[in-house]
A and B are shown apart, each in its own frame.
Chain A
Amino acid sequence: MSAARAFRFDYDRALNTTAAWALALVWFAPLIYAVWTAFHPTEFSTRFVLTAPLTLENFVAAWNAAPFARYFLNTVLLVTSILIGQFVLCTLAAFAFARFEFRGRDTVFVLVLLQLLVMPDILIVENYRTMRFLGLVDTILAIGLPYMASGFGIFLLRQTFKTIPKELDDAARVEGAGFFTILMKVYVPLAKPTYLAYGLVSVSHHWNNFLWPLIITNSVETRPVTVGLSVFASTDQGIDWAVITAATLMTSGPLLIAFLLFQRQFVQSFMRAGIK
Chain B
Amino acid sequence: MGPTAKRTWIHAWLFLSPAMILLIAFTHYPAAVTLFHSFFSTPRGKRSAKFVGLENYETLIADDTFWTVLVNNLWYALATIPLSIGIAIAMALWVDSKLKGRSFVRMAYFTPTVLPLIAVANIWMFFYTPGFGLIDQIRGAFGFAQQNWLGDPESALNAVIVVAIWKEAGFFMIFYLAALQTIPTSLREAAAIEGAGRWYFFRRVTFPLLMPTTLFVSVNAIINSFRLVDHIFIMTEGGPDNASSLLLFYIYETAFRFWDTAYASTLTVVLLLILFTVAIGQFLLLDKRVHYR
Contacts and interface: CB of A to CB of B under 8 A. Distances in A.
Contacts of B193: none
Given A21-B101, A96-B15, A117-B223, A33 B108 contact: no
A234 B12 CA distance: 49
B44 interface: no
Contacts of B276: 117
Interface residues of B, number: 95
B20 A149 contact: yes
Contacts of A88: 18
Interface stretch (B77-85, B147-155, B169-177): B169-177
Contacts of A115: 23, 27
Contact of A114 (B28, B103, B265, B271): B28
**Main secondary structure on A side of the interface with B:** helix
Interface in A231-271: 233-234, 241, 244-245, 248, 251-252, 255-256, 259-260, 263, 266-267, 270-271
A204 interface: yes
Nearest to B21: A149
A63 interface: no
Interface in B83-108: 87, 90-91, 94-95, 97, 99-101, 103-108
B159 to A, nearest CB: 13
Contact of A215 (B37, B112, B170, B256): B256
Interface string B237-278: 000000000001001100110000100110010011001101
Nearest to B25: A130
A90 to B, nearest CB: 6
Given A117-B223, A251-B119, A100 B12 contact: yes
Interface in B1-37: 1, 5, 8-9, 11-13, 15-16, 18-31, 33-34, 37
Contacts of A151: 23, 27
A68 B18 CA distance: 34
A57 B177 CA distance: 41
Contacts of B275: 117-118, 122
A26 B39 CA distance: 49
Interface string B131-174: 01110010000000000000000000000000000100111001
B116 A226 contact: yes
Contacts of B9: 102-103
A103 B10 CA distance: 11
Interface stretch (A168-176, A188-196, A205-213): A205-213
Most B CB within 10 A of own CB, among A95, A207, A210: A210
A139 B104 CA distance: 40
A178 to B, nearest CB: 10
Given A89-B19, A103-B1, A252 B177 contact: no
A25 B265 contact: no
Contact of A111 (B23, B255, B292): B23
B19 A23 contact: no
A143 to B, nearest CB: 12
| Central interface residue in A96, A225, A233, A251, by most chain B CB within 10 Å | A96
Interface in A7-29: 12, 16-17, 19-21, 23-25, 27-29
B40 interface: no
Contacts of B24: 111
19 contacts: A20-B91, A30-B166, A31-B111, A46-B133, A111-B20, A115-B27, A117-B223, A117-B279, A120-B30, A122-B248, A125-B30, A125-B261, A149-B20, A204-B113, A210-B230, A226-B116, A248-B123, A255-B115, A260-B107
Given A24-B109, A102-B13, A125-B265, 20 more contacts: A20-B95, A20-B105, A24-B108, A30-B123, A31-B115, A96-B12, A96-B16, A112-B23, A114-B27, A115-B27, A117-B275, A122-B226, A124-B251, A125-B251, A149-B26, A208-B118, A210-B116, A210-B117, A211-B248, A215-B256
